[in-house]
Each structure stands twice: as structure tokens, then as C-alpha cells.
Amino acid sequence: MKKWDFGFLSTAFVSAAVSVSLLATFASADEILKVNLSDSIRPATHCASGALYGITADLPADVNAHIAPLKGNVYLQPAVSGNGHQQPIGDAFDVAKRLVGTTGKVQIRLADILPGWPYKWPGKDSWLKSVEEIIKKKLNSGLEFDGYEIWNEPDGTWQSGNGDFYTNCWKPTYDLIRKLDPKAKIIGPSYSWFNSSRVDEFLKYCSQNNCLPDVFSWHQWGSGGFIGSVESLRNIEKKYNITPRALSINEYSSDTHTYEGAPGISVPFIAKFERNNVESAMISWWFTNLPGRLGSLLTASNQKGGGWWLYKWYGDMTGYMARVTPPNDKSEKVDGFAAVDAKQNYASLVLGGNSVGTVNVVFEKLPAFLGGKMKVLVERVTWKDKDTPVASTDKISETEMTLDGSTLTVPVKVESQFYGYRVYLTPIDVPQNPYKNTAATIPGKVEAENYDEAGQGFSYSDTDSDNQGKAYREDGVDIEEGGDNYTIGYTIADEWLEYTVNVTTAGEYAVKANVASGSETSGFQLFMDDKAITENFTAPKTGEDWKTYEVVDLGKVNLTAGEHILKLAITGSYVNVDWIEFVDPSTVVETPKDTTEEDDKTSLLKMHQSVNQTPVEPQYFDMNGNRVSKAVTKQPGVYFVRIPGFKTYMIRTTK
């Protein structure tokens, strides 16, 4: 939204748009917020984590530090920016390039092709020519976009002198998009606020003229009126037999502009958007001299504000969004949004709103993975104003709590309408089982991708919840195809994985690993039952693309027989680990200089073809102890050769 001079608005508009005061409501009694952790609304989408003109070609400067962690959904940007256009900054194509590799997409605001406020209409033919250029640019860009918003706030920016909005602008633009980019999403009408009469007129025309938007959009000022607007929209859709449209609230904020991005103010918006399946929502842009601040989540000096941390909590949500029932859904009072992820072993609730006092959070129908006893972490993020940096969130308490029957009640003291709070539940005891209930055997290989089954924080720790390699297993560990089969990759320092292993014989073992790295600072260390068994190992740079693997020697270790927990700890980011191998050194045959591996195998068999001059037949085994033929040992791999009555040797075939 352009920062309007309120002299431009009618008294009726101001009365309707600014209908809810944001003076804090001091609760006379404790509020109750119910959270049904087994009632899934939908998968986590972070629908509300977008912004209007929140990104420019240069700001925020650090995509990885400021944009990516929020798991942004859709950002509304001008189709083109610069001289002769409505916005001087934020070109949709520049921003789309910056978002490559993140979760974010760009919604293209076509109206911003034009200059002025209200927009200066150039006539239908000139307008359609400009739109066609943008469509072709999009199609040739190779970039991902959310869709096209045809016009912005036609209730205030479409002038009577331009002619009829529907026949001069909406319908011909709609038809042009459908012709040139038929699969693209069309968004509109993006009214400056929801007015039932205006919406009725728009949908009636569109239903009769075959130009219904794929996504219905408007701008929401204050969260209290949102539910009533959705109810009105659905009734109008039924009136004209229109299939319910997806929703985009492509500008939202408090009706007090200086509260833009405040944590406690944002919570009821996000909560209601999630419960009503909003597809995308973008924080407003009231401070026109400060674009590229993610809707005031960053301060004027580009530092993280309280709002940034609130949306980081939101971005951290994975799994599914759980149903939250507030005391009053049609108000701006306390509300919350929650997520559950059984693979990551957590349930998370974020709460806030226009209430001060104790909120009793009642968790119902807790999933089985949380057990009867769990750790309950309560955190807070503060907010003074949009330009005051906030260094981090604050831990209020961390306790162990036990289910009271079928519910768990956590009291949270809300100190300010501007603060946000998080209640984070994790299990205390989770059974840790080997992958597919089969422990790795030592001596032998431990495949890095076959870590134990217990989940985040128990059998592994990963900095994000997605398998970035998208291979082999469906949890938060990054696995990709590589090495001998699968390998762990995209590793970050302080991540770790654990493996249940069975050491068949106590003794000294040589340890090797098959690794790849394009860095000179990658590294890892091995632990057995939480005790270091190797030094911190810096992996060699094996190539530029992490596709070239090399077997490295990690030294020798003494192990006791029995079942143990092996931990692979990442000490330097970006090392790929394929497998770790434990070998009895006494079985290793060193290849003599100036001989080939095949020569060495032949010499070995000739040397020990008989014991006490009695001919014997060598016996061949693979690394799992299965007997194989001599022919199999010609294939690449590691094998054991047993000379009955003498000794067992290990041989390695590389070609």
C-alpha cells in the first residue's frame, strides 16, 4: 500500500477500517487457549510470512541471515521499478533472482508498471502492451513466481475518468494473461479493505463474464474483523455458485501503523490466517522510506527487531499446523498458532494478542511421541518499537511436566500486547532403535545414512528440518546419492548422528571413512558411548563439487565387545560422509610396492596354498561374513580370505 494521506479517504472508510482500538485489554480473569495437537489443519506452509516491498535488489543485504531463516512464502513486488513507474525499488525480477534457493516466491503487482498515486492510466491499449511485455519477461526468465496481481486497491486508485474498471482493465488483462500464460495464477481484486457490497459487485461481474480470479485478495487492517470478512466472502460465493476461492491477504497490519510487525500484534493475524487456509499473506509497508525491511521485521538500520524473532519461530514450524481455539475468534485478543512434527519430536505453540494477564494454555490430545512426561520450554520475545533491535528471544522457564489425565495445562503470563510467547514441548524419553532394527556389526562398515531411529535431538541433530538431498529417508537429515550408494551431505558444524553398533570381538581396530569435501575446513570426530575415540579429523579437499570421494585413515581405536552407540559429530561444515569402517589390523594385507592388488592376492594364495604340505582350499567371505566364490572377489570391494589351519587375511579389490 502506498502511504496514503488520510485526507484522501472518506469518513466512512476511516470508520470502517479503523474499527478496533489497540489499547491493551486487561483480563479480569485468566484466559484459556485450547490447542488440539492431534487435529491437523494442514501442513506447515508459513502462509503469512511474506511482505509488501519487503525485499529490494540490495536489502536485506544478507539473504541467508535475514530472509531464508523465516521460510518466507510470498513477497508482493512491483512488476517493474525505477523512473516512470510507481515504485523506485523492488523490481519483481530482481527480487525473484535473490530468492532462488529459498522458500520464497514473488507475486507480481502489475499496476506498479504505471507512475503516480493514484495510478496514471495510459489507456487500455498502452496498458495491455506493457502487461504483455511483463508476461513475456516472466515466461523467459526461468524464475519461479506466485502469480499476477492485476490491480492494486481499485476502490481508491481507479479514477472515474479511466472508464469502467471491469471492461477497460480487469477483463482484458485477465484474458491476456490466460492467453499468454494460461497456467499462471491470477490474483485480485486487492481491495484496500473488505466491503461486502463492493465484493458482491465484483464477483457477480466475474462469474457472468468468465474472469474469476484464482485467488481472491484484499487488505486487512486489524485482525479482529478478518473472520467476519471471510464469512461474508463465502456467502457471496455461494450466492453466485462460485467455487470457494483461495485467499491472499496481500497487505496486512495493525490499523495503528507504528505497530507494523510487532510480535504480539502479528500473532492473531497469523493464527486466523492459518485456521482459514489463507494461501499467502504479506505484511504491509507503511514506512515508504524504508523498503527492504521485511515489513518492519528489521529496523531502519537493518538489524533484527522483535518481529523478526517472532516470524523465525513461525519459520521453524514443520510437520502440520494444529488447531488452536482462542477465547474469541472475532477479536484481537489472545490467540495462537501451533505445529506438530513427530519426526522432529516437538510440538510448538506461539501466542500473543491484545490481552495482558495469565493465559492458561490447555494442550489436548497430545500425540504419542510426547509420552506422559515432557520438557516444557516457555520463551518470550519483546518489542519496544519497530526501530529498536532485539538481540534474541528470552527463556522464561524450562520445566518437566506430566500429563494430567489427557491434557497438559501451561500457564503463560502475558506482560504486553506487543510481546510474543512460545511454548515448546519435547519428549524426555524416546526409545532409540537401530535403523530397521539391525545394528551395524564391527568389524565392518557403518553406513552413514543408516543412523538410528529416534528423531531430532535423540538419534541425530540437524540444523533444519528438511532432507535437502531428498534421498533415502524422510526426516531432517540431509541424504543424497553419492559415494558407494547414499551419503550424508549439506552438513553443518555441531550436527551429529548416532548409530547402534555391535562389536563382536574386543580389541584394536583400524578406522577408515569414505568422504568428500570441496572445502579445506570440513571435519568430523567419532565418539563411542559419548567418549571420543578419534581426534578431530579435518577432511581433505577431494574436489570442487563434493562428488569425488576418498578413503581416509582415522587411526586405530580399542573397542570392547558388545552393543555401543557410535556418534558421528560434524566439527567443520560441508563434509560428505559415505561410510565408516572398522577393521581388525591383523587381517589387513599391505600391498607390496611395485605390485598390483591382483598380484598381491595371487602371491598370498600361492604362499599359503598348503599347511604342513597338505593342500588346502582358501575360503572367501564378504564384509558381512557371507561365503562367496573366488570369482566374486574380482569385483571391487573388501573381502576376507581364510586359509584353514593358518590365518584369515583381508584383501581389497579396487578395479
For 473-483, write each residue's pLDDT tens digit: 989 899 999 99
Residue 605: pLDDT over 70 = no
Residue 7: pLDDT over 50 = no
Q: Of 364, 80, 76, nearest to 218 (Cα)?
A: 76
Distance CA(445)–CA(447), nearest Å, equals 6
pLDDT, residue 550, reads 95
Q: What is the largest CA-CA distance in the chain?
A: 112
pLDDT, residue 18, reads 32
Residue 498: pLDDT over 90 = yes
Mean pLDDT value across residues 240-245 = 98
For 100-137, write each residue's pLDDT tens digit: 999 999 999 999 999 999 999 999 999 999 999 999 99
Residue 649, C-alpha cell as written in the block:
587375511
pLDDT, residue 607, reads 44
Are 600 and 527 spatial neighbours (Cβ–Cβ below 8 Å)?
Answer: no
Residue 94: pLDDT over 50 = yes
Neighbours of 582 (CB within 10 A): 24
Min mean pLDDT across 170-174, 236-240, 267-271, 519-523 is at: 519-523
Neighbours of 617 (CB within 10 A): 10
Q: How far is CA 159 from CA 112, 152, 188, 230, 357, in A?
A: 15, 13, 18, 27, 48
pLDDT, residue 616, reads 60
Neighbours of 373 (CB within 10 A): 12
Residue 226: pLDDT over 90 = yes
Please enumerate in sequence order all residues whose Cβ is within 8 A of that of 277, keeping only pairs 6 or more positions apart, or say none. Answer: 41, 42, 246, 247
Please enumerate in sequence order all residues whose Cβ is within 8 A of that of 505, keeping only pairs 6 or more positions apart, or say none. Answer: 443, 561, 584
pLDDT, residue 625, reads 65
Local confidence band at 591 (pLDDT 50, 70, 90 cut-offs): very low
**CATH code matching the domain that covers 435-586, chosen among 2.60.120.260, 3.30.1330.10, 3.90.1150.10, 3.40.50.360:** 2.60.120.260
Min mean pLDDT across 31-45, 536-550, 570-584, 613-627 is at: 613-627
| pLDDT top residue among 18 and 30 | 30
Local confidence band at 644 (pLDDT 50, 70, 90 cut-offs): low
pLDDT, residue 648, reads 62
Residue 55: pLDDT over 90 = yes
Q: Of 83, 426, 19, nearest to 223 (Cα)?
A: 19
For 342-389, write each residue's pLDDT tens digit: 989 999 999 999 999 999 999 999 999 998 889 999 999 999 999 999
Look at domain 45-316 and name its CATH class. alpha beta
- Using the 8-state DSSP alphabet, how is residue 292 labeled? S
Neighbours of 335 (CB within 10 A): 30
Mean pLDDT value across residues 290-299 = 96
For 413-439, write each residue's pLDDT tens digit: 999 999 999 999 999 988 899 999 999
Min mean pLDDT across 187-191, 310-314, 542-546 is at: 542-546
Give the CATH H-level superfamily of domain 335-427. Answer: Glycosyl hydrolase domain; family 39 (2.60.40.1500)
Please enumerate in sequence order all residues whose Cβ is within 8 A of that of 443, keeping only pairs 6 or more positions apart, or say none. Answer: 504, 505, 509, 582, 583, 584, 587
For 435-460, write each residue's pLDDT tens digit: 999 999 999 999 999 999 988 889 99
pLDDT, residue 466, reads 84
Query: Angle CA(379)–CA(383)–CA(384) in degrees, nearest 5?
Result: 150
Q: Of 165, 152, 67, nearest to 116 (Cα)?
A: 152
Mean pLDDT value across residues 296-316 = 97
Mean pLDDT value across residues 302-312 = 98
Residue spans per domain, the chain: 45-316, 335-427, 435-586, 589-653
Local confidence band at 608 (pLDDT 50, 70, 90 cut-offs): very low
Residue 143: pLDDT over 80 = yes
Min mean pLDDT across 282-286, 305-309, 621-625 is at: 621-625
Residue 204: pLDDT over 80 = yes
Mean pLDDT value across residues 70-97 = 97
Min mean pLDDT across 23-27, 151-155, 174-178, 272-276 is at: 23-27
